[in-house]
């Protein structure tokens, strides 16, 4: 194996230094995507209507509106048995 000072040899079983990152455990479980778990009630930020957009296998989808922007969203509610 050829090596030089700028590129030290790497062996298959060599321990690579772990990157020390302070991560929210919830974000870690969701991977590196931009999904974040909301920590406040949905009605704080959205006006939830009773308008049913559709029915899924696991529950209803309601029309909701973001209070500040007025943008329309769909809220999926899982039915609890
Ligand atoms: N973003 C959305 N905008 C408008 N209507 C939606 C939206 N998302 C879902 N719907 C409506 O709600 C219905 C059910 O959606 P949902 O995703 O729950 O279906 P599903 O695939 O059966 O899901 P699940 O099996 O998880 O219940 C859809 O068929 C559609 O009519």
CATH number where 51 lies: 3.30.200.20
pLDDT more than 70, % of the chain: 58
> Which of ligand 1's atoms lies nearest the C-alpha of 73?
1
Q: Are 50 and 61 in contact (CB under 8 A)?
A: no
Instruction: Give a three-class secondary structure readout of 60-72.
Output: EEEEEEECCCCCE
Q: What's the pLDDT at 1?
A: 39
38 Cα: distance to centroid of ligand 1 (angstroms): 21
Domain count, the chain: 1
What is the extent of the structural domain holding 58?
A: 38-78
From residue 31, give the alpha-carbon distance in Å to each of 22, 27, 40, 53: 14, 6, 21, 30
Predicted pLDDT at 3: 41
**Which of residues 28 and 71 earns the better pLDDT score?**
71
State whether residue 42 is helix, strand or coil: helix
Ligand 1 pocket at CB < 6 A: 53-59, 61, 74, 76
Model confidence band, residue 36 (pLDDT cutoffs 50, 70, 90): confident
Q: Which residue has the higher pLDDT, 13 or 78?
A: 78
45 falls within a domain: yes
Average pLDDT over every residue of 10-39: 58
């Amino acid at each position: 194996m050829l090596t030089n000072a700028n590129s030290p040899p790497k062996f298959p079983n060599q321990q690579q230094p772990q990157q020390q990152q302070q991560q929210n455990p919830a974000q870690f479980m969701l991977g590196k995507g931009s999904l974040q778990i909301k920590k406040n009630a949905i009605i704080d930020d959205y006006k939830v209507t009773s308008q049913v957009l559709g029915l899924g296998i696991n529950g209803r989808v309601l029309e909701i509106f973001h209070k500040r922007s007025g943008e329309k969203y769909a809220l999926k509610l899982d039915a609890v048995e």
